[in-house]
Chain A
Amino acid sequence: MTALVQRQKPEDWIAPAGGGLAVGPGGFHIDPSRPVDRAVVTHGHADHARAGHGHVLATPETIAIMKSRYGPEAAGRFQPLSCGEPLTIGDTRLSLHPAGHILGSAMAVVEHRGCRVAVSGDYKRRRDPTCPAFEPVACDVFVTEATFALPVFRHPDDAAEVGRLLTSLRLFPDRAHLVGVYALGKCQRLIRLLREAGHDRTIWLHGALLALCDLYTAHGVDLGPCRPVAEAPSREALRGEIVLAPPSAGGDSWARRLPDPRIAMASGWMRVRARARQRRVELPLVISDHADWDELLQTIDDMQAPEVWITHGREEALMHAAAAKGVRARALALVGRGEEDEEAAPATEPAAPDTDA
């Protein structure tokens, strides 16, 4: 019997397809970038959550985000699944676990014939006041991102970065501080961090950020006083104030409505000076929603997986470091992941409100 029913290797039943990972015995794809019949979506960022699937399974928060961004008809049917509630789909067991990346973000853990594969989507390990923390799950294969998989990426304390923004506000009280943030996640986390640092003034928002801020508020994240820039009583009223906008807004004509804007950006990429300069950023704030180098390695340890698959990012460095730990690692090279924040686009690019970093 055992000779006939050979134990399947994980790559035989879960493999890249449809721009995501296809789970054969479950009949679904995880984070497919092309429309499929059944999709499991780890979180709401556009490189993971696309419109047009027949059926989407995700956390209730992610479903709310998808509906907010793509409309209620974004998928033929939505099926909410809360974290920690296992579900049988075909010949698989699926459960979702908090990934700590943004509101609603979850790691999809799929079990098939005793083999457990954890697909993390994107994740981070440090505290985020807008979402629950990442929960490690023991597994046979850990599918991880590698966005910041170089030992130069060690994200500093986020409170210190917010402190630098507030110091700049003091030094340049005559300039609007335009902080480039991704509309989903970074924006709301930065607002919360500012509130925790005692900044209780109105924070002014680019129109592209409003809907998601309302959504976070509706999910119990208190953002304090926030208003659209369009409602500012005057241009002058924005001097010395914090204005949040999608990263590209600093380089386009929209920014001309602000008085002498000082361009800041909150992103893990800001750790590298050349990246910040490419973006013409005056005040780089290293605040990331991704795991940094140490956290990636720590997570590989925590997941206790003998094998790691890497979806996107700097695969070679993470493979190298995993190998040094005695963990088998291979690159899936999922196309399209993180591409919008991978190469710093020229400052004149059209607004890209939904990339994450």
Chain B
Amino acid sequence: MRDFAALIEGLAFTPSRNGKIRLIVDYLAHAPDPARGYGLAALTGGLRFAQVKPAAIRDLIATRTDPDLFAWSYDYVGDLAETVSLMWPATDRCGQAPTLAQVVERFGAARRAEVPALLEDWLSALDESGRYALLKLVTGGMRVGVSARLAKLALAEWGQVNVNDIEELWHGFEPPYEEIFDWLSGCTGRPVPATGLGFRPLMLANPLDEAELARLPASAFRAEYKWDGARVQLAAENGRVRLYSRAGDEISAAFPDIADAALGLHAVLDGELLVAAPGAGPVDVAIRPFNDLQQRLNRKKVTAAMLRSHPAHLRLYDILFEGQEDLRPLSFGLRRQRLEDWYRRLRPARMDLSPLVPFDGWPALATLRDSLRDAAVEGLMLKHADSAYLPGRPKGHWFKWKRAALTLDCVLMYAQRGHGKRSSFYSDFTFGAWQDGPDGPFLAPVGKAYFGFTDAELVDLDRWVRRNTVNRFGPVREVAPGLVLEIAFDSVQRSKRHKSGLAMRFPRIFRIRWDKPAAEADRLETLAAMLPDGGPIRAD
């Protein structure tokens, strides 16, 4: 537990991405097996056990501390796990501290009624930082600013392999990932997952720079609609199905309707997750607004009523595997043909094909784009017909060409309490866009918005802010960079008042992107390119 606790501590305070990677690599190099696999699983959200509720932890501390002293301490520290870890009375049992592996294995097998006694025992045997790590582990909130992707990058660096190899294997094995560690330690060859159900790194599109359009040969590209849903990967084999988010997190449990529909399939598919109008037929599916999908995305489990009122739908645009055959080396044109053939043959329920949009030259396509009015369509995708399916965001292959409304995916940075009936809510939001600095990317604030969301969304936003606060300045809270807000605005202007040099006109929160990783939010240059004169930002 000591190594893991030190890692959690280090990660929480080390802001730079490279610094975090170095800490994880050092942990992987020094921690024993199987602890390091569990440690990595803890960072990537791969440990699944029943979470302990804060109330249960309060009960444990209440029997051991003076209530006034606890209240003052909690008020001062501001975090329950931290307060408890610091206040827990010292004992002389430090020699009997559990290892991380013992905690994970014992806790995973524990019945609910056993949990308080187990925790009590461990808390008394661990030191402060061990207690803190334990409490964060069992309450399911590490919040050390490490994405699953970052942890995989560190694992790849430690094992001296390409991160895409890690991605491919990751979901094929369970914590503590002994097979992967044996391979990376050189003890065994590259392991073969027992199933083909693992996540494959997605191929991502670059935003289209319209100035470059003239240089792209229109005839070499295929166009599709860019759907306003959530990008997912579906893997199905032998009656087992896994649905992955774009970041590689498994979300199958939240979408049993899709999983059921895919039961008989044997393929890996790339598509857009949408919510269809209830009772829609297989043809001409009516797509509901993104907000409806959000209702589903926000839930780990879904009710029967929700399944009826918000049925999920998968709009397919690529096929990565058909049976055992890896189609990714094929060109987009060939894969598209295979996808269409496959779809016609099987016609799986709750799925359809994202149609190709025929066009004759860029001007015609531009006209079509300007005429897009369907709320389910964000714009167009352009895909080079000869492109293999390449992981990551390779340049020159896929482009996204969004509809003309100015929007920017920003990252929430600060929240301020509102006034009047909003005085108990963090309702004024300052957000930023990524910029490169000497320590890697950092957020430059680009604007502030306080409307555009419903009252129900405000409750969620407020809760998120309170749970992700890293700093307080009077009524303002600084939050960890973890929530993407899609900001709509009329125009962007230069501003001397803003540190970023840019100011949005009439910004409003267009959408809360609970699903999007903060690292994938937009960059400041993207905003600068929206200036009437097309940027760049002038340095003062």
Asked whether A320 lies within 8 Å of B86 as measured between CB atoms, the reply is no
- Is there a chain A Cβ closer than 8 Å to B121's Cβ? no
Asked whether B12 lies within 8 Å of A151 as measured between CB atoms, the reply is no
Asked whether A171 lies within 8 Å of B79 as measured between CB atoms, the reply is no
Q: Taking A150-B73, A152-B77, A277-B13 as contacts, is the C-beta distance between A320 and B68 under 8 angstroms? A: yes
Q: A152-B77, A278-B471 are in contact. List 15 more A-B contacts (CB 8 A).
A: A151-B73, A152-B87, A154-B86, A164-B6, A262-B19, A273-B82, A274-B77, A282-B13, A282-B14, A282-B15, A282-B19, A283-B13, A320-B69, A321-B66, A321-B69
Interface string of B1-21 (1 = CB under 8 A from A): 000001000001111000100
Asked whether B69 lies within 8 Å of A272 as measured between CB atoms, the reply is no
> Which 10 A-B pairs give the minimum distances between C-beta atoms?
A152-B86, A152-B73, A151-B87, A150-B73, A282-B13, A317-B72, A151-B69, A282-B14, A277-B470, A272-B77
Q: What is the size category of the interface that chain B forms with chain A? A: 20 to 34
- B90 contacts which chain A residues (CB < 8 A)? 154
Interface string of A262-285 (1 = CB under 8 A from B): 100000000111101110011110
A309-348 contacts to B (CB < 8 Å): 314, 316-317, 320-321, 324
- Is there a chain A Cβ closer than 8 Å to B179's Cβ? no
- A152 contacts which chain B residues (CB < 8 A)? 73, 76-77, 82-83, 86-87
A-B pairs with beta carbons under 8 Å apart, 11 shown: A151-B86, A152-B76, A152-B77, A152-B82, A154-B90, A262-B19, A272-B77, A277-B13, A282-B14, A282-B15, A317-B73
- Is there a chain A Cβ closer than 8 Å to B463's Cβ? no
- B438 contacts which chain A residues (CB < 8 A)? 260
Q: Taking A282-B15, A314-B72, A320-B66 as contacts, is the C-beta distance between A274 and B472 under 8 angstroms? A: yes
- Is there a chain B Cβ closer than 8 Å to A72's Cβ? no
The interface on chain A, measured as residues whose beta carbon lies within 8 A of the other chain's beta carbons, has a size of: 28
In the bound complex, CA of A331 to CA of B6 (Å): 38
- A260 contacts which chain B residues (CB < 8 A)? 438-439
- Is there a chain B Cβ closer than 8 Å to A71's Cβ? no
- A262 contacts which chain B residues (CB < 8 A)? 19
- Is there a chain B Cβ closer than 8 Å to A27's Cβ? no
- Is there a chain A Cβ closer than 8 Å to B128's Cβ? yes
- Is there a chain A Cβ closer than 8 Å to B402's Cβ? no
In the bound complex, CA of A274 to CA of B78 (Å): 8
Residues of A with Cβ closer than 8 Å to B?
A: 150-154, 156, 164, 171-172, 260, 262, 271-274, 276-278, 281-284, 314, 316-317, 320-321, 324
Interface string of B80-91 (1 = CB under 8 A from A): 001100110010
Most buried by B among A154, A156, A324: A154
- Is there a chain A Cβ closer than 8 Å to B336's Cβ? no
Asked whether A274 lies within 8 Å of B72 as measured between CB atoms, the reply is no
Q: How far is the CB of A163 from chain B (nearest CB, A)?
A: 10
- Is there a chain A Cβ closer than 8 Å to B520's Cβ? no
Residues of B with Cβ closer than 8 Å to A?
A: 6, 12-15, 19, 22-23, 26, 65-66, 68-69, 72-73, 76-79, 82-83, 86-87, 90, 127-128, 438-439, 470-472
Closest chain A residue, CB of each to CB of B85: A152
In the bound complex, CA of A284 to CA of B6 (Å): 12
In the bound complex, CA of A278 to CA of B472 (Å): 8
In the bound complex, CA of A271 to CA of B82 (Å): 10
Q: Taking A154-B128, A171-B26 as contacts, is the C-beta distance between A271 and B472 under 8 angstroms? A: no
Closest chain B residue, CB of each to CB of A280: B15
Q: Which of B23, B73, B78, B86 contacts A171 (CB 8 A)?
A: B23
Asked whether B22 lies within 8 Å of A272 as measured between CB atoms, the reply is no
Q: Which of A151, A276, A316, A324 contacts B65 (CB 8 A)?
A: A151
- B19 contacts which chain A residues (CB < 8 A)? 172, 262, 282
In the bound complex, CA of A272 to CA of B69 (Å): 16
- A150 contacts which chain B residues (CB < 8 A)? 69, 72-73, 76
- B77 contacts which chain A residues (CB < 8 A)? 152, 272-274
In the bound complex, CA of A352 to CA of B128 (Å): 31
Q: How far is the CB of A260 from chain B (nearest CB, A)?
A: 8
- A320 contacts which chain B residues (CB < 8 A)? 66, 68-69
- A172 contacts which chain B residues (CB < 8 A)? 19, 22
Q: Which of B69, B73, B79, B128 contacts A274 (CB 8 A)?
A: B79
Q: How far is the CB of A249 from chain B (nearest CB, A)?
A: 18
Asked whether B13 lies within 8 Å of A281 as measured between CB atoms, the reply is yes
Closest chain B residue, CB of each to CB of A175: B19
Most buried by B among A151, A156, A172, A320: A151
- A324 contacts which chain B residues (CB < 8 A)? 66
In the bound complex, CA of A53 to CA of B22 (Å): 54
In the bound complex, CA of A317 to CA of B439 (Å): 41
Closest chain A residue, CB of each to CB of B22: A171
Asked whether A272 lies within 8 Å of B128 as measured between CB atoms, the reply is no
Q: How far is the CB of A285 from chain B (nearest CB, A)?
A: 11
In the bound complex, CA of A356 to CA of B158 (Å): 42
In the bound complex, CA of A283 to CA of B76 (Å): 21
Asked whether B471 lies within 8 Å of A277 as measured between CB atoms, the reply is yes
Closest chain B residue, CB of each to CB of A284: B13
- A272 contacts which chain B residues (CB < 8 A)? 76-77, 82, 86
Q: How far is the CB of A304 from chain B (nearest CB, A)?
A: 23
In the bound complex, CA of A324 to CA of B66 (Å): 10
Closest chain B residue, CB of each to CB of A317: B72
- B79 contacts which chain A residues (CB < 8 A)? 273-274
Asked whether A273 lies within 8 Å of B12 as measured between CB atoms, the reply is yes
Asked whether A276 lies within 8 Å of B13 as measured between CB atoms, the reply is yes
Most buried by B among A152, A277, A281: A152
In the bound complex, CA of A260 to CA of B472 (Å): 27
Closest chain A residue, CB of each to CB of B438: A260
Q: How far is the CB of A344 from chain B (nearest CB, A)?
A: 10
Most buried by A among B22, B72, B79, B472: B72
Closest chain B residue, CB of each to CB of A278: B471
In the bound complex, CA of A211 to CA of B439 (Å): 34
In the bound complex, CA of A271 to CA of B128 (Å): 10
- A321 contacts which chain B residues (CB < 8 A)? 66, 69
Q: How far is the CB of A13 from chain B (nearest CB, A)?
A: 33
Closest chain B residue, CB of each to CB of A273: B82
Closest chain B residue, CB of each to CB of A168: B10
Asked whether A271 lies within 8 Å of B69 as measured between CB atoms, the reply is no
- A273 contacts which chain B residues (CB < 8 A)? 12-13, 77, 79, 82
In the bound complex, CA of A158 to CA of B247 (Å): 42
